[in-house]
Amino acid sequence: MRIFRASSVFLALTLSAGNALASELGDADRGEAAFAQCKGCHQVGQGAKDRIGPNLNGIFGRRAGAIEGFSYSKSMARAGADTLIWTQDTLDAFVENPKALVSRTRMSFRGIKDPVERSDLLAYLRRFSDDPSNIPEAEPTASGTDHNVDPAILAIQGDPEYGEYLSNECTTCHQVDGGDDGIPSITRWPEEDFVVAMHAYKEKIRPHPVMQMMAGRLSDEEIASLAAFFKDIE
Amino acid sequence: MNINRRVLIGSGAAAAMLAAPMVRAAGHGKPRVVVVGGGAGGATAARYIAKDSEGEISVTLIEPTRKYYTCFFSNLYLGGFKQIEDIGHSYGTLAAGGVNVVHDWAIGVDRDAKTVSLAGGGTVGYDKLILSPGIDFVEGAVEGWDLSAQNAMPHAYKAGSQSELLKAQLEAMPQGGTFAMVAPPNPYRCPPGPYERVSMVAHFLKANNPTAKIIVADPKEKFSKQALFQEGWANHYAGMVDWIGADFGGGEVSVDPNAMSVTIDGEETKVDVCNVIPAMKAGRIAELAGVTDGNWAPVNAADMSAKADPDIHVLGDAASQGDMPKSGYSANSQAKVCANAVRGALTGTRVFPAKFANTCWSLIDTNDGVKVGATYEATDEKIAKVDGFISATGESAELRKATYEESEGWYAGITADMFG
């Protein structure tokens, strides 16, 4: 769960111990089969074109929302401007739960929960990035980690009254009427998506310095309280 | 700290309240809150108390101007990115939301009788008084300048007619003329403000008067977002801006508004426009209320109450609170903590721990926005910084553009949060 920090520590330990486990990549052939569930929207390989989703050639190392002429969601364009780069880590997080990383992405996909399946898929996609040899074998999530928020955290019952007080901090920037020019709207946000997104900021998986800072000092209970308040906001 | 404990604390406080009713309104109907100053601190506090108390608390806002021009974004007006109407706000929505808006000057506070006296005559009684008067200028701070010279040499550090005057003078500058700024010493309202202004003036001059020069006399050795501004000035306005810091005599300044000259470290220069931003102090009503110590009003971090009087709270620029910069965002953040505490004291609602935040966006040139921000907490001594960030030099054009667009979103957000 607290993935990045936890897994990089794990990585450092395993590397120094000369253990090859953490650098183990998925099986690209199995990944090709897993890609079947993406094919409805994405193409990859020679002659791949942008369809419902952008083509995935050269995805590793590309900035989010960067294909000229492709009509991205506002959320994805913002993530790119906020310097979200597609790496083994960020792709793994995105494929696991797209909305945790990019709240209102148009990618309507529930995500792949199985870390092995994700690493297989990413191993397959790496074949179509310009120079896979430049992609470090030892990226922290190469062997798959769990980006999901701990179910125990998701199960915390928030205190909506406290959430209302905490939400006052949000409305300094986010417009209460749902306007979203420059800063995204935060109304009508499903409770679980909200919690997952806040934890992604807190763990600095999602880019954006203000949100990382704001979420960074919220306790698990405070995030739950905010979620409990926001779920009822029209 | 965990929520269960907080809930316990909350209900514990509520139980104590039932046993021994809190301040309450002594001998009159509803508890009364009077707010002096309708800016980022005062308007926000008035709005939140009226909104959240749902009529349980009578809220009066005393603000002399019928239209409030935000100091934040007033530099963008100078640069031509905003019209003056874009930064003007009226109080109609606050009034409709239950705030009794009185357009008058508060000229005195009787802390024993708990009343505020008004320039137009009469007094308003309070149980809790919130002062959010912004800044006034320290007399004699810049040799040769006083308020009678503010037409010849505008400060434009309270937005509105002063901003319009400075813009008119900028537009009337002769080709190749000189724009001088006398920057203020710490602490002052909006730390990046003077330097964003330099950027916006440079932006205007680059398009309309490209051989003009900007001189900044600064009593400080360094300033907010300095690396970002200086990088931007070099990239966008090469050779136009001459910043003279304290190391080079920038603090040794006098002005002559009749001769339109500025003398820096003994060297006199004729200028065409001179923007004097003097040293600042708390808006005068804080001093009249007797809650200042020196130039500012010391407050307790947990609820922004004045150290001198538990029934007076001081918000925003006027307060001496610790680590937070004097900014509209800070004042708005402090107002919400204060509103929660005041409501709790008057009607026994739950009081939650103070959390503060600030972010200051600045525009350097078209689509070249930068920001700095931090979170804060209340300690026994002060408001203390927890965590922070600042834009980096050399950021991509996309990120800078997104930062500018974000600042526009923030402006829409905070003004809606202040005025409803």
Least confident of A43-57, A68-82, A171-185, A217-231: A171-185
Same-domain status, A12 and A121: yes
With 80 as the cut, is the pLDDT of residue A84 above it? yes
With 70 as the cut, is the pLDDT of residue B333 above it? yes
Same-domain status, B330 and B230: no
- Closest A-chain CA to B392: A209
Q: Which residues form the domain of B43?
A: 24-136+280-351
pLDDT of B41 reads 98
Contact A213 B340 (CB under 8 A): no
Same-domain status, B194 and B126: no
* In a domain? residue B375: no
With contacts defined as CB-CB under 8 Å, which chain A residues touch B86? none
- Closest A-chain CA to B398: A81
* In a domain? residue B191: yes
Distance from the A46 Cα atom to the nearest Cα atom in chain B, whole angstroms: 29
Q: Is A184 helix (H, G, I), strand (E, B) or coil?
A: coil
CATH number for B100: 3.50.50.60
Same-domain status, A27 and A110: yes
Same-domain status, A159 and A101: no
The one-character DSSP state at A183 is S
Q: How do strand B309-314 and strand B128-131 relate by DSSP bridges?
A: parallel
* In a domain? residue B64: yes
Q: Is A63 helix (H, G, I), strand (E, B) or coil?
A: strand
Query: Taken in order B231, B233, B236, B241, is the CA torsion positive or negative?
Result: negative
* In a domain? residue B412: no
Contact A217 B407 (CB under 8 A): no
With 80 as the cut, is the pLDDT of residue B95 above it? yes
Q: Which of A161, A166, A180 sits opposite B350 (nearest CB)?
A: A161
* In a domain? residue B413: no
Q: Which residues form the domain of A163?
A: 151-230
Q: Which residues pair with B276 in a beta bridge?
A: B182
Taking the C-alpha atoms of residue A27 and residue A122, their distance in angstroms, rounded to an integer, is 9
CATH number for A211: 1.10.760.10
pLDDT of B28 reads 67
**Residue in A153, A165, A176, A225 to test binding to B, most B beta-carbons within 10 Å:** A165
For B197-218, how does the pLDDT look when each residue is reduced to its tens digit (9 = 90+)?
999 999 999 999 999 999 999 9
Which of residues A134, A160, A176 is at a domain's end? A134
Contact B375 A217 (CB under 8 A): yes
Contact B413 A173 (CB under 8 A): yes
Taking the C-alpha atoms of residue A75 and residue A211, their distance in angstroms, rounded to an integer, is 14
With 90 as the cut, is the pLDDT of residue A26 above it? no
With contacts defined as CB-CB under 8 Å, which chain A residues touch B387? 213, 216-217
Least confident of B11-15, B44-48, B87-91, B301-305: B11-15
Is pLDDT larger for residue A19 or for residue A44? A44
* In a domain? residue B17: no
Same-domain status, A172 and A113: no
- pTM, two decimals, is 0.82
pLDDT of A61 reads 86
Same-domain status, A106 and A158: no
Contact B3 A225 (CB under 8 A): yes
With contacts defined as CB-CB under 8 Å, which chain B residues touch A216? 375, 387
Q: Please give the mean pLDDT across all residues of chain B.
A: 94
* In a domain? residue B363: no
Q: Is A66 helix (H, G, I), strand (E, B) or coil?
A: coil
For B110-129, how does the pLDDT look when each residue is reduced to its tens digit (9 = 90+)?
999 999 999 999 999 999 99
pLDDT of A233 reads 72
The one-character DSSP state at A7 is H
For A134-164, how does the pLDDT look when each residue is reduced to its tens digit (9 = 90+)?
555 544 434 444 556 788 888 899 999 999 9
With 60 as the cut, is the pLDDT of residue A13 above it? no
Type of residue at A16: S
Least confident of A35-49, B56-70, B79-93, B221-235: A35-49
pLDDT of A146 reads 52
* In a domain? residue A22: yes
Distance from the A172 Cα atom to the nearest Cα atom in chain B, whole angstroms: 5
Q: Which of A175, A213, A221 sits opposite B3 (nearest CB)?
A: A221
